[in-house]
């Protein structure tokens, strides 16, 4: 059984993520303790609401340093919703541009659609070779967001494997629904609210933890 820490940085509704990970087969702890988070097989970084507020919360508990330390050692991290968005360089909301964690280049911007927020179930366009979406590439997932990463600007560096990007659309606007980038994985949708498909996705992620920790 994999040991997973859900980073407790003050984000709302994290208990559903804890329960979903437990249902997927993990031993889960909700904490901001650095020793526990560094020792865990996987770290989950949730986020809801505004980019700026989530960044403030993450930095307040030293989550930025924690994520950096884990990734420097090739230790798996999973971001969910705004937990995906903060992995990019910047987020711009209501005219305010805020610095993110900078793991990936690019900026989070408002969706260009007639109806915002994008709320409800949607399909995704999964790349060939995805481990995260094994067996569930044709399923729908639950989204709640007004902002997104709408381009992918990271250039692959040999001999590292090229990141796998899953896309979705809201109205005519195309945005990143998930990223698989070595030890760093993230979803814009909420797997913990996506029923059996979300549970399978979490199991798929958990299945990769022993391999990445080897």
Helix (H) or strand (E) run with residue 98 in it:
strand 96-99
Output the average pLDDT for the chain.
95
Query: pLDDT by residue (tens digit) across 106-149?
Result: 999 999 999 999 999 999 999 999 999 999 999 999 999 999 99
Tokens of 185: 């994985």
Long-range contacts of the stretch 9-13 (C-beta < 8 A, 24+):
9/45, 9/54, 9/57, 9/58, 9/60, 9/61, 9/63, 10/57, 10/60, 10/61, 11/46, 11/47, 11/48, 11/49, 11/54, 11/57, 11/82, 11/83, 12/48, 12/49, 13/46, 13/48
For residue 34, indicate whether it is catalytic.
no
| pLDDT on residue 70 | 98
Query: pLDDT by residue (tens digit) across 152-201?
Result: 999 877 677 899 999 999 999 999 999 999 999 999 999 999 999 999 99
Q: Is the pLDDT of residue 213 over 70?
A: no
Q: Of the residues 22, 56, 81, 211, which is catalytic? A: 81
Q: Of the residues 9, 139, 170, 192, which is catalytic? A: 192
CA distance 66 to 105: 20
| Full set of structural domains in the chain with CATH | 3-213 (3.40.50.880)
Query: pLDDT by residue (tens digit) across 16-68?
Result: 999 999 999 999 999 999 999 999 999 999 999 999 999 999 999 999 999 99
For residue 107, indicate whether it is catalytic.
no
């Amino acid at each position: 059984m994999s040991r997973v820490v859900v980073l407790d940085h003050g984000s709302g509704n994290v208990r559903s993520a804890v329960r979903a990970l437990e249902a997927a087969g993990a031993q889960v702890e909700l904490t901001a303790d650095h020793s526990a988070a560094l020792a865990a097989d996987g770290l989950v970084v949730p986020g809801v609401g505004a980019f700026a507020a989530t960044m403030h919360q993450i930095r307040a508990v030293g989550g930025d340093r924690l994520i950096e330390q884990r990734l420097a050692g090739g230790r798996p991290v999973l971001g969910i919703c705004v937990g995906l968005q903060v992995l990019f360089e910047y987020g711009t909301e209501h005219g305010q541009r805020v610095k993110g964690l900078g793991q990936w280049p690019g900026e989070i911007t408002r969706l260009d659609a007639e109806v915002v927020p994008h709320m409800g179930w949607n399909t995704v366009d999964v790349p060939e070779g995805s481990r995260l979406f094994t067996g569930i590439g044709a399923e729908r997932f639950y989204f709640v967001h007004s902002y997104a990463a709408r381009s992918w600007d990271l250039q692959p560096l040999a001999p590292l494997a090229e990141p796998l990007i899953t896309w979705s659309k809201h109205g005519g606007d195309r945005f990143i629904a998930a990223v698989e980038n070595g030890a760093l994985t993230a979803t814009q949708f909420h797997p913990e609210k996506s029923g059996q498909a979300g549970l399978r996705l979490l199991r798929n992620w958990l299945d990769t933890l022993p391999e990445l920790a080897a």
